[in-house]
Amino acid sequence: MKKKRRINYFRLFIFLIILIGLIAGGVFLVKEFIIKKDDNHFIQEQKKDNNNEIKKSPLKDLNYSDDDIKIINDSLSEEHINYLVENKIKSEDIIPIVKETYYIDYYLKDYLSYKKENPSKENNLIVQAVNTHINYPFYTHIEDTDESLGKFVLLNKYYKASESYKANDLIAVSSEYHLYGSNFELSKECYEAFLEMYNDAKEAGYGFKINSPYRSYQTQVGLYNKYASTDGKEMADTYSARAGHSEHQTGYAFDIRDFPYTNPDYSKTKSFTWVSKNAYKYGFILRFPKGKEYITGYQYESWHYRYVGKEAAKYIYDHDLTFEEYYEYFVKFKNPRNLK
C-alpha cells in the first residue's frame, strides 16, 4: 500500500511568497519600462517642438542664433517677443540684458530705453538701475507702497505710504533698550529679533541701544521740515526722508548706538564690527550701505538697521544687495527665475 505524500505547507507558503514577489517585481519593471519609454518619448517630442519653434521663429529673420532664440523663448512673454520683431531689436542689444541674473521681463522696454540713453553702461548696471527705479530722478514716478507686506514693505524715494500706515503688530518696548531711556514702539516680530541679537551681543561683550524706533507720518513731517529749514531741502534729502517715505514709519527699522555711548559715528565704535557681521543672522540688514548711495538716495548710515527676516537678510548679506534690489526681484515680482 502506497503512503500518501504529506503536503509541506510551510514550503508551499514560501514558494507562493517567492512567486508573488517575482510577479510583483516583473509588473514593477514593466511599469518602469513603460514610464521611461513615455518620458523619453515626451522629451523627444518636446525637443522636436522646441526645434520647430526655433526654426519658425520670426527672430530668425533678424539673424538671432538658435541659442539666442531659445533664451528669448524661455525668458520673454509673447508680447515682448513680438515687440523685438516689430522694432527690429538686434540680438546684441537684448541677449546680454536677458542673461543678467536679476532680469525682470516686465521691464524689457525700460531696459532697452535706458540702454539706448546710456550705451556705454554695463548691462548689470542697466538692469540694476531699472529694477530700482533710479533711471528716474529721486522723488519722481512715485508709487503707493503695498502696505500689506509686513516686514517686506518698501518705503524709499519711489514708494510712499499713507499717513495712517504703520505695522499691524506695533508693541511698546521697554525704555531699558532706548539710548535716552524713552518709551517707544517697534513691530513685535522686529522687537523679538532685536532682543535675541541684543542678548547674544551682550554675552559676547558688546553693548548697544536703540536711538530712533517707530516714527509716525506726522512726526516725520516735523523732523524733515526742521532739517530742510536748517540745511536746505537738497541737503536734507541726503540724510532724512520726506513724510510717507521714511522706513521708521514701518516699525521694522531703528537706529542703533553703542552703549555706553562713546561716538556719534557708529562705524567707529566697539559694537559696530560685531553688529555689521552678525545682524543678518537675526533678520536685520544695514539699510543704507556704503557705496550704494546712488541706489538708496541716502548717505551711508552705519547705524540704520531694518528687519526683513532671516532668509531675506542672509540673501541680501551674501549677495551684497540693497533692499531695493531684493524687493523688486523677490517680493514684487516673486523670484521669476527661482533663484536660490
Eight-class DSSP state of 327: I
Res 17: pLDDT:
75
Question: What is the tens place of the pLDDT at every residue in 208-248?
Answer: 999 999 999 999 999 999 999 999 999 999 999 999 999 99
Q: Can you spell out the DSSP letters for 222-270?
A: HHHHHHHHHH-HHHHTTT-PPTTS-GGGTTSEEEEEESS---SSGGGSH
Res 215: pLDDT:
96
Least confident of 136-150, 240-254, 259-273: 259-273
Q: Does residue 2 register a pLDDT over 50?
A: no
Domain boundaries, the chain: 56-132, 143-332
Q: How far apart are CA 141 and CA 160, in angstroms?
A: 11
Given a contact cutoff of 8 angstroms between Cβ atoms, the answer to whether 293 and 304 are in contact is no
Res 199: pLDDT:
98
Res 114: pLDDT:
98
Confidence bin at 7 (pLDDT 50/70/90): low
- Select from 3.90.550.10, 3.20.20.220, 3.30.1380.10, 1.10.357.10 the CATH code of 143-332: 3.30.1380.10
Phi–psi pair at 160, nearest 5 degrees? -125, 145
Least confident of 32-36, 52-56, 91-95, 252-256: 32-36
- For 106, the grid coordinates are 516686465
Question: What is the tens place of the pLDDT at every residue in 147-198?
Answer: 999 999 999 999 999 999 999 999 999 999 999 988 899 999 999 999 999 9
Confidence bin at 126 (pLDDT 50/70/90): very high
- List 184's β-bridge partners, or say none: 173
- For 57, the grid coordinates are 521663429
Res 47: pLDDT:
41
Given a contact cutoff of 8 angstroms between Cβ atoms, the answer to whether 256 and 305 are in contact is yes
Contacts 24+ apart (CB under 8 A), 119-122: none
Confidence bin at 14 (pLDDT 50/70/90): confident
Q: How far is CA 53 from each of CA 74, 127, 337, rounded to the nearest angstrom?
A: 12, 28, 22
Question: What is the tens place of the pLDDT at every residue in 19-63?
Answer: 776 776 666 665 666 556 555 544 344 444 455 668 789 999 999
Least confident of 190-199, 228-237, 262-271, 288-297: 262-271
Res 45: pLDDT:
43
Eight-class DSSP state of 175: G
